[in-house]
Amino acid sequence: MENTVALGAANALLNYDPEILNEVLRDTFKPKTAELNIKAAKQGYNYAQPHYPDDFGYQLKKTSSAGKHRIFLTGNEAVGLGAIRAGCKLYAAYPMTPATSVLHFLVHLDRTYNMIVIQVENEIAAINTVAGASYTGIRTMTATSGGGFCLMTEGIGMTGMTETNPVILLVQRPGPSTGLPTYTAQGDLRFAIHASQGEFPRIVIAPGDVEETFYKTMEAFNLAEKFQIPAIIISDKYLAESHGTAEPFDQTRTNIDRGHLTTEDKYTGEEEYKRHKITNTGISPRTMPGTKGAIVRTNADEHDERGYTTEDPTLATKMTDKRFRKLEALTKELKNLETTKLYGPEEAEATILAWGSTKGAIREAMKFLSKEGTKINYLQILYLTPFPAAKVQKTLKSAKKTIVVENNKTSQLTSLIREHLLTTIDHKILKYDGRPFNPDALSQKIKEVL
Amino acid sequence: MAFKKALIELGLEREEAVIVSGIGCHGKMINYVNVNGFHGIHGRVLPIAQGIKLANPKLTVVGFAGDADQYNEGWSHLAHAVRRNINMTLIVHNNMVLGLTTGQATSTSQPGFKSKSTPFGVIPPMLNPSAHALVSNGTFVARGFSGDMLHLKSLIVEAIKHRGFAFIDVFQPCVTFNYLNTYDWFRRRIYKLEEEGHDITDRQKALEKALEWGDRIPIGIFYKKERPIYRDNLPHVKDVNLTKLPTENIDIASTLKEMM
Ligand SMILES: Cc1ncc(C[n+]2csc(CCOP(=O)(O)OP(=O)(O)O)c2C)c(N)n1
Ligand SMILES: [Mg+2]
């Protein structure tokens, strides 16, 4: 109850309407406990008001959006909601902080939304279960963190080869190995991009806040299914488990696009069905096993169009090319999607480049700096694979000075930029102590490099 | 062959069956049977197959694994699949050797078995998959022999008909790399449980039989029992084929409201 006294006192310092806190207390507790808490808050308020009059410096005011309801949720819950809305029907996972709360969230809703949510024996089982289920034609997802993602790598390659399309959420924490298991980091970007042997197209998306997490999760499901490739959503402990508020999600903003999928009832099947048919776009029409007249065969070994194992060199080349043609088609499609976002003035003293959960701290730091008259802009990179090279290049061209902000030691984004654009970054602000950036400290660091 | 015959006997259409195979000589299975197929990676037949069956319960799902595939790489999946009791069948081609990788010892190779990886003979005792399945609360545990095709076929038919997870360990001698456990070796030792009045509802007896090894080796059904399948405890999807559910227009308004 001391905390409630403190809240009441804080309310007095901020000169905020005590009735608002009372409402929250009534919302939170059972009536009896609520009344006791309201009393406690009042005591704090009444003590602080005469003792610290008017010298606090900050005041809280009701905003114009008061009365309008916003939603309050974590990044992991936003992924869960995005998955449900995207029509995900099966979620399989093994607990690992900080990804576990997706399992907790979804399992409470599986009966409402007719999903199967299952805790399996390990992450190897998880990735293979969602791959198998994906083969039947439903949308599936799994989530894990570093160690679990290590176990999934072979399975991810199998999804590349079998052209199955689960969505995989990778919630980063500091490594290597068990590292700082309950803290945050961005050290797995390269790992997500390259996980598994061999070469195959994939998607790696990094949302920066709860809102983006919801919409980008839906996008991940659409693109994964349309291009029949695995999609990895990469977030981190800070985004996944911090609560944020947002406008209630607009359910109409992202449509469902199932790509070249023919459901059982619509299949006409005049010619022999070939699951891995070679086409111009590389995308083979999909139908569901169980469809009358179609044998759906897929294979983790190199295979022909029908899914039969092959060791033929010409065919092996053709099939690899076929899979990579999907990447070309995907890259084209991404031109019309929000793969980067620019914040701040067009003309700026310096340009920040970053991905993922650093967004909040960066935008806050920009506000501090702009109050002092320092103009900074910021390019948030949402797609790491395929890399939106043209869009990043455009920003880099007009940048006077570039700064990468990242929660890792080796600045993996810098290396990606160098790889795709043959250019380097002027300054790096890196943090790898398990803690997210603090806006105040970040603005100081930015000033140091200006 | 026994599997094809079993499919015919069960009157299954090709489109209704899915076979999932692992990596090993057995893995080539999907190239020989013209039904739906998923040739997965080494050791992971069970998670893939369970994923398929969870999604679409209308499909008849049969997994084919090798002994190294299932009992080395995929050992942990076996216990969990058995206890989960998803309605599917697992057939393990147990040749007591790693065939595809040209003859190393597996966890079902006999102690003393000399192979490329054990030139002085296998040191530890063998794993016992049937006993393992029994103590993991298996509902259908059987053993077959590829030298007795008709018997094996009838086991497969029973396994597919069983409502729950059915497991058949099949002795399938590798004529190339296992000089020890040959067709002849098995023929001299094998006897059929059903011919000796074994009670397939008695788990204690079943375990005793599964542990028998040496001059006499039993084949047939060790144990069979009905137990609710995994889906029976999911009231919302008990009789639902997930592939038939809509993907579009899932209204999340009520959940959003709870978050306000
Ligand atoms: C992860 C992984 N490890 C190792 C291998 C190499 N490998 C291929 S087949 C095989 C074992 C085959 O033995 P078994 O499962 O008994 O099948 P058999 O060939 O005897 O039918 C191994 C170890 C692999 N493909 N993948
Ligand atoms: Mg073998």
Fold of A340-449: Rossmann fold (3.40.50)
Is the CB of A295 less than 8 angstroms away from the CB of B28?
no
Q: Which residue of A has its CA nearest to B50?
A: A129
pLDDT the model gives residue B101 = 93
Residue A70 structure tokens:
């916003």
B99 Cα to the center of ligand 2, angstroms: 5
Digit-coded pLDDT (tens) for A353-399: 999 999 999 999 999 999 999 999 999 999 999 999 999 999 999 99
pLDDT at residue A59 is higher than 90: no
CA distance B33 to A329: 34
Asked casually if ipTM beats, i.e. exceeds, 0.85, the reply is yes
Per CATH, A73-246 and A340-449 having the same topology is answered: yes
B101 Cα to the center of ligand 1, angstroms: 6
CA distance A303 to A160: 13
A371 Cα to the center of ligand 2, angstroms: 71
Please provide the DSSP assignment of B95-115 as one string: -SSBTTTTSB--TTSPTT---
Q: Helix or strand or coil: residue B55?
A: helix
Among the ranges given (A47-61, B60-74, B226-240), the one the predictor scored with the smallest mean pLDDT: A47-61
Q: For residue B97, what are the domain limits?
A: 2-259
Q: How many domains does chain B fold into?
A: 1
Residue A122 structure tokens:
């390990």
pLDDT the model gives residue A64 = 73
pLDDT the model gives residue B58 = 97
pLDDT the model gives residue A15 = 87
CA distance A242 to B80: 34
Task: Number of A to B CB contacts under 8 A, please give it.
Answer: 201
B227 Cα to the center of ligand 2, angstroms: 31
Q: Which residue of B has its CA nearest to A250?
A: B253
Residue position matching structure tokens 């590349």: A160
Is the CB of A299 less than 8 angstroms away from the CB of B77?
no
What is the number of the ligand 1 atom nearest to the C-alpha of B65? 15
Q: Which residue of A has its CA nearest to B59?
A: A290
Digit-coded pLDDT (tens) for A108-167: 999 999 999 999 999 999 999 999 999 999 999 999 999 999 999 999 999 999 999 999
- The answer to whether the beta carbons of residues B93 and B120 sit under 8 Å apart is no
Residue nearest to atom 20 of ligand 1 (CA): B99
Model confidence at A63, pLDDT cuts 50, 70, 90, reads confident
Q: Which residue of B has its CA nearest to A287?
A: B243
Is the CB of B56 less than 8 angstroms away from the CB of A301?
no
Digit-coded pLDDT (tens) for B145-157: 999 999 999 999 9
pLDDT average, residue stretch B77-95: 98
Is the CB of A158 less than 8 angstroms away from the CB of B235?
no
Mutate to test the pocket of ligand 1, among B69, B90, B172 (most ligand atoms within 8 A of CB): B69
pLDDT the model gives residue A266 = 85
Q: Where are the beta strands (DSSP E) in A247-386?
A: 261-262, 286-287, 297-299, 340-343, 350-354, 376-381, 383-385
pLDDT at residue A57 is higher than 80: no
CB neighbours of residue A358 within 10 Å = 29
As for ligand 1, residues whose beta carbon falls within 6 Å of it are: B 23-26, 42, 66-69, 93, 95, 97-101, 106
Mutate to test the pocket of ligand 1, among B45, B98, B116 (most ligand atoms within 8 A of CB): B98
Digit-coded pLDDT (tens) for A164-186: 999 999 999 999 999 999 999 99
pLDDT average, residue stretch A211-232: 98
**A190 phi/psi in degrees, rounded to 5:** -60, -40
Model confidence at B162, pLDDT cuts 50, 70, 90, reads very high
Its pTM stands at: 0.95
Is the CB of B50 less than 8 angstroms away from the CB of A291?
no
What is the number of the ligand 1 atom nearest to the C-alpha of B42? 26
| Residues in chain B within 8 Å Cβ distance of A92 | 51
Residue nearest to atom 6 of ligand 1 (CA): B101
**Domain extents in chain A:** 2-51, 73-246, 261-334, 340-449
CATH 3.40.50.10860 is the classification of domain A73-246 = no
CA distance A43 to B235: 51
pLDDT at residue A101 is higher than 90: yes
pLDDT the model gives residue A268 = 85
Is the CB of A89 less than 8 angstroms away from the CB of B55?
yes
pLDDT average, residue stretch A339-351: 97
Closest Cα of chain A to B247: distance in Å?
4
A199 Cα to the center of ligand 1, angstroms: 22
Q: Which residue has the higher pLDDT, A354 or B175?
A: A354
- The answer to whether the beta carbons of residues A322 and A282 sit under 8 Å apart is yes
Is the CB of A162 less than 8 angstroms away from the CB of B243?
no
| Residues in chain A within 8 Å Cβ distance of B16 | 290
Q: Buried b vs exposed e over B50-70: b needs ≥16 C-beta within 10 Å?
A: bbbbbbbbebbbbbbbbbbbb
pLDDT average, residue stretch B180-203: 97
> Choosing among B29, B41, B165, B232, which should be mutated to test the A contact, i.e. which has the most A CBs within 10 A?
B41
**Mean pLDDT across chain A, nearest whole number?**
95
> Which of A138, A256, A298 lies at the smallest CB-CB distance from B55?
A138
Digit-coded pLDDT (tens) for A410-447: 999 999 999 999 999 999 999 999 999 999 999 999 99
